[in-house]
Amino acid sequence: MNLVTLRDVSVAYDGYEALRHVDLEIADLDFLGVIGPNGGGKTTLVKAILGTVPHTGELTLAPELFRGKERLIGYMPQISDFDRAFPISVLEVVLSGLQGRRGFSSRYTKEDRARAMELLAASGIADTARSPIGEVSGGQMQRALLARAVISDPKLLILDEPANFVDNKFEKELYRTLHELNARMAIVMVSHDIGTITSVVKEIVCVNRQVHRHRSNILTEEQLRNYDCPIQLVSHGHIPHTVLEHHPGDCCRNHE
Ligand SMILES: Nc1ncnc2c1ncn2[C@@H]1O[C@H](COP(=O)(O)OP(=O)(O)OP(=O)(O)O)[C@@H](O)[C@H]1O
């Protein structure tokens, strides 16, 4: 069952077309790794799915993605996009993942708080619950942002560069957690580094203004060349490793 369907979706910023004619389906229990060069449009693709950027074309969210008015999409932003100066505690950050259900002004229930504490405890940062979010470490903040993204028990979890600026310990922990979560929700994870995510995700989606889905989590150099992907490969066995930061051409043409 498709949870999200994009048909001929394009996104432009002040006339600059960041995404062009995108067709993509995200099915239940998919685990997609979204890769591509800097500025290729990965975050824009995420924003298009979340409906936070104007687009042309058709974006369809399946009824299964809603519980009443609540949209069952969890989102973990890039840590650099999160405002550290926001004057709330770690616990409140996690609880804010329920705002889709309760609205800004409603109060959280005892059960909500217990659930948030449970998630913080599971990620080993229960002792930071009362700390201002601006005062915790990057790794602790990312654990809190992940807890915030999953507290509503979403059907689709979207993570934008979740392993940026963190220690290896969080990264390993994160991938183990995502593997478990994928048993009950679809996951879309943006990453610069195909080498790291390739063993974690089920399929790769390459974004450079255009979008191509590879029906595998392992890409060969030849496949990438065929799609004009702007990726330099440093082989680890059969696993491609490095994503170039810049390429003048379009990646992953669909060869229509
Ligand atoms: N709000 C905006 N206004 C104008 N241009 C924008 C805006 N947001 C993104 N862009 C441009 O759109 C293109 C795609 O940006 P986007 O952030 O989606 O790429 P990305 O692949 O996520 O990049 P990165 O890997 O650096 O995070 C870039 O050229 C960027 O400069």
Residue 83 is predicted with a pLDDT of 76
Residue 40 lies inside a defined structural domain of this protein: no
Distance of CA 132 to the CA centre of its chain: 25
Residue 103 is predicted with a pLDDT of 54
57-90 as b/e, with b when 16 or more CB fall inside 10 Å?
A: eebebbeebeeeeebbbbbbbbbeebeeeeeebb
Residue 148 lies inside a defined structural domain of this protein: yes
Helices (H), 86-201: 90-95, 99-102, 110-122, 138-150, 168-181, 194-197
Pocket of ligand 1 (CB under 6 A): 13-14, 16, 18, 36, 38-44
CB distance 89 to 133 below 8 Å:
yes
- 């399929």: which residue's tokens? 203
> How far is Cα 197 from Cα 163, in angstroms, rounded to an integer?
10
Ligand 1: residue whose CA is nearest its atom 23? 39
Strand 70-71 relative to strand 66-67: parallel, antiparallel, unpaired?
A: antiparallel
Residue 96 lies inside a defined structural domain of this protein: yes
Ligand 1: residue whose CA is nearest its atom 26? 38
Residue 224 is predicted with a pLDDT of 61
Mean pLDDT of the chain: 84
**Pair of tokens at residue 148:** 């915030």
Residue 128 lies inside a defined structural domain of this protein: yes
Which H helix or E strand runs over 21? strand 16-27
Measured from the Cα of 78, ligand 1's closest atom is 27
**Pair of tokens at residue 213:** 């889905």
Residue 19 CA to ligand 1 center (angstroms) comes to: 10
> How far is Cα 227 from Cα 206, in angstroms, rounded to an integer?
9
Residue 178 lies inside a defined structural domain of this protein: no
The pLDDT tens digits of the residues spanning 183-198 come to 999 999 998 777 777 8
Residue 80 is predicted with a pLDDT of 75
ipTM of the complex: 0.97
Residue 13 CA to ligand 1 center (angstroms) comes to: 9
Amino acid at residue number 98: L
Residue 136 lies inside a defined structural domain of this protein: yes
Residue 59 lies inside a defined structural domain of this protein: no
> How far is Cα 168 from Cα 80, in angstroms, rounded to an integer?
18
Residue 10 lies inside a defined structural domain of this protein: no
Mutate to test the pocket of ligand 1, among 9, 10, 13 (most ligand atoms within 8 A of CB): 13
**Pair of tokens at residue 112:** 């909500």
CB distance 210 to 251 below 8 Å:
yes
Residue 39 is predicted with a pLDDT of 86
pLDDT string in tens for the chain (256-residue length)? 999 999 999 999 998 999 999 999 999 999 999 988 788 899 999 999 999 999 999 999 999 999 888 899 999 988 877 777 788 999 999 999 998 775 555 688 999 999 999 999 999 999 999 999 999 998 899 999 999 999 999 999 999 988 776 767 888 889 999 999 999 999 999 987 777 778 899 998 988 899 988 877 776 666 665 545 555 544 434 444 444 433 334 444 333 2
Residue 27 is predicted with a pLDDT of 97
Number of domains in the chain: 1
Residue 13 is predicted with a pLDDT of 96
Residue 168 is predicted with a pLDDT of 74
- Containing structural domain, residue 89: 84-153
